[in-house]
Amino acid sequence: MIYLKNAQQLDCMRRSGALLYDVLCRLREAIKPGMSTAELDVYAEQLIRKHKAIPSFLDYQGYPASICASINDEVVHGIPSETAILKEGDILSVDCGLILDGWQSDSAFTVGVGKISPEHQKLIDVTEESFFKGIRKAIAGNHIGDIGHAVQSYAESFGYGVVRDLTGHGIGRNMHEDPSVPNFGRPGHGTRLRAGMTLAIEPMIAMGDYRVAQLDDGWTIVTEDGSFCSHYEHTIAINEKGLPEILSFPGYVLTEDAE
Ligand code: MF3
Ligand code: CO
């Protein structure tokens, strides 16, 4: 069941997304070699609660933290830990979600810890750009497959693997709503996009093969071949005009694709 949001509900989602943007900016600034991912998690929960919002990941299906912190070959759902100490050269993905006045937002970024290799920086940059390739297709009248195809064809043109076992999703009063938003697909296929849809688009891109596995902790997803992986996610809307808007990146103006 897809829940379309009216203008008033979109405004609620905008407020939720704007707060999450603020939280993620502060988390990004805090990331330093020598810090543990548990410290980052404590900081995230403080920031969220200070603004009278709720960390949506905490206790979600038993998940024990407010963020996911996934290092290097960890794709997503890494559990913050006192013993996971960030070191120069790591790449860290931080995924966070919150609920403000009943409305959810979900966003993730990947960043280098200290100085990282040019290859890993390129992986991070291409993953972000693949998100922007995808969101430009999130226009009323297009299809879900147009988004996935745009993400996939861009990322694969660099020889990277596009993770398939996890996807983006609808979002609203619930963190996960229909439709599923894969990072691969065929143009013109899948659910037709409509004004009022709110989606989390979240490419997960590996330097090597796309296959992933789950660790024994029941959460952490890693690449099977051990290659580094990058994740980038925003909560977006197809707004009242039928055009894409990044709710978790307020003020960002989408330009026409160069190609
Ligand atoms: N951002 C993740 C997603 O889109 C949510 C993390 S799962 C949780 O599915 F269990 F940690 F909440
Ligand atoms: Co998500």
CB of 60 within 6 A of ligand 1: the answer is yes
Which class is domain 7-253?
alpha beta
Q: Which ligand is nearest to the CA of 235?
A: 2
- Is the confidence at residue 122, as pLDDT, over 70? yes
Question: With 0-12 CB in 10 A as exposed, 13-18 as middle and 19+ as buried, what is 29?
Answer: exposed
DSSP type of residue 60:
G
Cβ neighbours of residue 119 closer than 8 Å, sequence gap 6 or more: 207
Residues in Cβ contact with 70 at an 8 Å cutoff, skipping those fewer than 6 apart: 76, 77, 78, 92, 93, 95, 220, 221, 229, 231
- Judged against a pLDDT cut of 70, whether residue 40 lies above it is answered with yes
Confidence category of residue 145, pLDDT binned at 50, 70, 90: very high
Q: Is 39 in the pocket of ligand 1 (CB under 6 A)?
A: no
pLDDT in the model for residue 207: 98
- Taking residues 217-239, report their average pLDDT: 98
The phi, psi pair for 54, rounded to 5°, reads -120, 135
Q: Indicate if ligand 1 lies below 6 Å from the C-beta of 63.
A: yes
* Centre of ligand 2 from the C-alpha of residue 80, in Å: 17
Q: Find where tokens 């497959």 sit.
A: 145
Q: How far apart are CA 67 and CA 107, in angstroms?
A: 10
**pTM value?**
0.98
pLDDT number for residue 258: 64
Whether 67 contacts 92, CB under 8 Å = no
**What is the rounded CA–CA span in Å between residue 169 and residue 181?**
5
User: In the predicted model, is pLDDT for residue 27 greater than 70?
Assistant: yes
Instruction: Tell me the pLDDT tens digit for each residue of 60-105.
Output: 999 999 999 999 999 999 999 999 999 999 999 999 999 999 999 9
Q: Cα(122) to centroid of ligand 2, in Å?
A: 23
Q: Looking at residue 257, what is its pLDDT?
A: 74
User: Distance from the CA of 256 to the center of ligand 1, in angstroms?
Assistant: 30
Contact 110, 20 (CB under 8 A): no
Ligand 1 neighbour 165 (Cβ under 6 A): no
Domain positions in the chain are 7-253
pLDDT at res. 139: 97
Length of the chain: 259
Nearest CA to ligand 1 atom 5: 57
Q: How far is CA 66 from CA 8, 49, 55, 94, 250, in A?
A: 28, 11, 5, 10, 22
Average pLDDT on 156-178 reads 98
Which of 94, 95, 167, 234 for a ligand 1 pocket mutation test, highest count of atoms within 8 Å of Cβ?
Answer: 95
Cβ of 201 closer than 6 Å to ligand 1, yes or no, is no
From 68, 166, 167, 198, give the residue whose CB has the most ligand 1 atoms within 8 Å, as the site to mutate.
68
Give the count of alpha carbons within 13 A of 52, CB side only. Answer: 3
